[in-house]
Structures are given as structure tokens and as C-alpha cells.
Structure 1
Amino acid sequence: METLGDLVAAGRGRTGVLFESPERTAPYSYGDFCTNVWKGGNLMRHYGVRNGMRVAVVAGPKNPEDGDEPGYLRDVPDALLAFLAATMDGAVVDMDPPGAVDTKALVAPAAWLDRYELAPGTKALAYGGPSDDPTVAQFERELWSENPLQPPGELSPADDALAADRTYTHGDLLAAGERVVSDYDFDAETTVALRAPVTSAGALVAGLVAPMRAGATVLLGDGETADVAVAVDDSVPEERVIRPSELSV
């Protein structure tokens, strides 16, 4: 396994549950999620996303409530899907974009789009909502009708995938994910509670890449306790905690 594309392809063949959330009526299976990642990659290619381009992704619930802040996931993990989808096209993703966004695309909750000033060449794709702006693409609706095949193009372990405190390659993220799997004994029976904002490499590795590598299940929102939590501090019900800031990525 050399790139995030390999991670998604392997997940496409799994039969287990990737995400569980109290906001969903049914679990989100590996097969459905990874097929949708492929669809998302093809959708972003339709809007011109290609190797080396920048894409901004804002994580949040479909219908944000007062007090919700970018970075946290409460329901369907559209932002994580968008992150992986963009990397399928070779894009470099910023999961914590500034207020002024100058990237090829911005994927964000419809209710938060007015927080961002988009450059003329930036295409807005919204999940939740819908948006009243006719220039904004509805992410879920367009995703539904996209090609469910793996996006074309070749990826390399040395290709950049994430722009955070520094730029991380596909190889960086996969190697760090392997270390988490080994250090915390992740397997297909492991449940991982994602209780940290997914704006850093450490949170994405521990809360997405490592669980997908092991076939584990990620719990979102305020649900049942898990075998391990990805959290910024110890104020969680789980005894085992992975702090994103302490991971070596």
C-alpha cells in the first residue's frame, strides 16, 4: 500500500462498517463510503481538480447548530469523503482554510459558506443545506449521479496530499497510519471514537487513515464509548486516548 488511493481501493472491498453516528439511521459501510470517495474524485475532476492543485475542505455537520465550529464531525462524514476524493485526483487538501480561500475548490457545509471569501477561480461545493446560491454545487446531489469507478490518473507516495502545519505526502500519512495501527493494536474489531477536530495531520491519521488500514469502525458524535478515542485531552469516557498533537507524522 503506497498511496491513499490504495487505502480507498482496499476499503472498497471490505464488508464491515466504517462509520457509526447517532445522526445516521444506518451505519456507513466501507463499501459505500469508498465507492462515494471514487465518485467524489470524479466529481472534482469535472470541476477541474488535478494533480498538485489545492482544495479546501471544511469539516462540520450538515446542519450546524449554535456553538458548532469548523473541524468537528457530528453526522455523515462528508468532509472526510471530500478529503480523500480530492487526493484521488492528486490534489493537496487544506482542512483548516483561512477566511479568504484561493483554491480550485472549497467543500463546506452550506450554512457556513458565507464565512469564506472565494477567489474568482474557486468552485464552491456545499453539503447539507441546500444553498440558495445558483453558483454553488450541491455536493451530495452531484455525487449521487457520478461515475462509481476509480478516478483516472496515477498517484505516487511522494505526491503531496495534505497542507497543514507543513505539507504531508501520501507516503507520510500512510506510514504514520501504520504506526498507529501497530502501537494501538488496531484491527477489524476495534472501535475508534473521533472526538478531535480533523484539522491536523495527527487527527486525520488516527481518526481516518489508521482505522481504514485496519478495517476498524469509527464512532462519530456523542455515542457509545469506544476502545480508543482520538481526542485533544483526557476529558473523554475512553481509557485509551490518542492525542493528535503527540503523533509522529
Structure 2
Amino acid sequence: MTEEFTLVGDLVARDRRSERPALHAAELDRTYSYFDLCNTACKAGNVLSHIGVREGDRVVIDSEPRPQAVFTFLGAGLLGAVTQFDADIDSECDARVVVVPVEREPEFDLPGGSKLCAFGGDPDRPDTTHWEQEVWSENPAFPPTFHDPADAVLRDAGADRTYSHADLLEAAREAADALDLDAESRVAVRAPLSDPRTVAAGVVAPLVVGGTVALPAGDAPLDATAAVVAPEAEPPEGQSIAVDTVSL
């Protein structure tokens, strides 16, 4: 049974902090608890705020399924910012913040008013924000914020449209019901985060039931009770949902 949330930021509310597993990153062989998830999302939101992100601003994140991408999305949601997961970020992207793996740092020459943030290692340029360093040192407390559930929280670059907190949470609840998810469920993300339906069914859906988001390492097998897959992908053993059936 899904909990009632009105905003994406509610998924990382203080009262959700526990030692239950929230996110497993196979590439790092690391599991993050709900305590880790909530704290790190709040820290990421504070870092975004410090580098200029405000309500309604756009944050573009590399769409590879990595924990830093999920934490940043949730932190942006706390701020009322709009996340765009993108596999092909323009090197001169005019988003308020662009978040990429550190190996992609040399690709970008962002215009004034935009900030580059890199994760997974030390950036070479002094004006690039080091994700891990800043998030690690940030305060996990986040001030109360008030947003309209009808406000945009996720942007689909391909379709040039946005989805609200209410849209995303409703699609997540429907996916959770379709997959019969509960707090013991682990949902493997086998479709690109650049598709908002993947975010709804693969990230938000397990979180609304207190389950676990499972991020794969390439095509390696992943221990999960359900999976979100692209239409052309071969569904793994067990229950799965194709992104083109997600109602978003």
C-alpha cells in the first residue's frame, strides 16, 4: 500500500529516516539506507541552493543510473527546482546547474549564470563544484519549503514538456500498484532515466512504498523483485513493467 505524498520532497522527510534499505548501487556494491537517502538528498538540496538554484530553476543531470543522480533529483525537488535527466547534454547548456560524472568535465563550457557540478572524482577546474566534497560537508537539515503540487518537478527534454509533483507521484502510485510493490520490494531500473516514466516507476514508485531502488552495473544480473524496462529490452525473470505502459 502506497503512502500519501503531495510533493517529491516528502519522500525524504525527516520522519522517513531509518536503517531500511532505500537504494542499492550495484556499480559501487553499496546500499544506502533511508537515513542515508534522506540526509544526502537534503545535503544535495543545500548544495544546489548555495550554487544558485532557486524554485523553478532547471537542473540538468547526466542520465546514467547512479546514486548521485537520484540524490540530486530529490534535492532539487526539495528546492522546487525542475530536473531534466539527459543522456546528451549540450556542452553549452543554459540550465542553472549541470551535474555530470567528472570524466565529462572537459566537454562543458557553460554560459554565464550556469554552474557545472561533477561527481565521481576531483574536478580539474576550480570553478567546477565537487559534488562529493560539498555534499559530504553540508548540513543534513533542510529548512521547511512550501510548493504547489501542480508545480513542475521533472522535464522531458525530448518531448519538451514538464511534469508536476502531482503527475509524477500519481504515476508512481499506479506503477507501484501494478507491480504490487511493498516495503520488501527491490525495483531494478533497466530503462533510461531520461524518460520521466522510468523516474516515476523505477525511482519514485519504490520510494513511496518504502522499498528499494536498485541501480544496475551495465547488463550484469541484479537481485530484484521487479524491474522497470524499456520496451525493446528483454525483461528479466520476475515481474516487470515497460516504460511505455506507465501512465505519465
Give me the TM-score of the superposition, normalised by structure 1: 0.88
Answer yes or no: is 1:24 the counterpart of 2:67. no
- Which position in structure 1 is the counterpart of 2:193? 198
Shift of 1:234: 4.2
What runs of 5+ residues in structure 2 fail to find an aligned partner? none
| Paired residue type of 2:138 | E
Identity %: 37
Asked if the contact 2:183–2:211 (Cα under 8 Å) also holds between the matched residues in 1, the reply is yes
Q: For 1:174-213, what aligned pairs fall within 5 Å after superposition?
A: 174-213=169-208
Q: Which amino acid aligns with 1:237?
A: P
Contact 1:12 1:35 in 2 (8 A): no
Q: Is the 8 A contact 2:48 2:76 kept in 1?
A: yes
What is the CA–CA distance in structure 2 between the aligned matches of 1:27 and 1:113, rounded to whole Å? 27
Q: For 2:208 and 2:71, locate their aligned partners in 1 and report how far apart those are by CA, in whole Å.
A: 15
Distance 1:173 1:11, change over 3 A: farther
The match for 1:45 is 49
Show the counterpart of 2:133: 141
Moved more, 233-242 or 135-144: 233-242
Superposed CA RMSD in Å reads: 1.8
4+ residue runs over 6 A deviation = none
Question: Aligned residue for 1:229?
Answer: 227
Q: CA deviation at 1:190?
A: 1.1
Q: Report the Cα distance in structure 2 between the residues aligned to 1:217 and 1:173, rounded to whole angstroms.
A: 18
Instruction: Please show how residues 159-174 of structure 1 align to structure 2 within 5 Å.
Output: 159-164=151-156, 165=159, 166-174=161-169
For residues 63-142 of structure 1, the aligned pairs below 5 Å read 71-73=63-65, 76-96=66-86, 97-142=89-134
- So what's the TM-score if we normalise by structure 2? 0.88
**Partners of 1:18 and 1:28 within 8 A in 2:** yes
> Alignment length, in residue pairs?
235
Deviations 1:100-148 (A, max 9, x none): 3101111111111233441211111110121111110100110011111
1:4 to 5, 8, 28: 8
Aligned-partner residue type, residue 181 of structure 1: A
Deviation at 1:152, TM superposition (A): 4.1
1:90–1:161 contact (8 Å) kept in structure 2? yes
Distance of aligned partners of 1:103 and 1:224 in 2 relative to their CA distance in 1, 3 Å threshold: closer
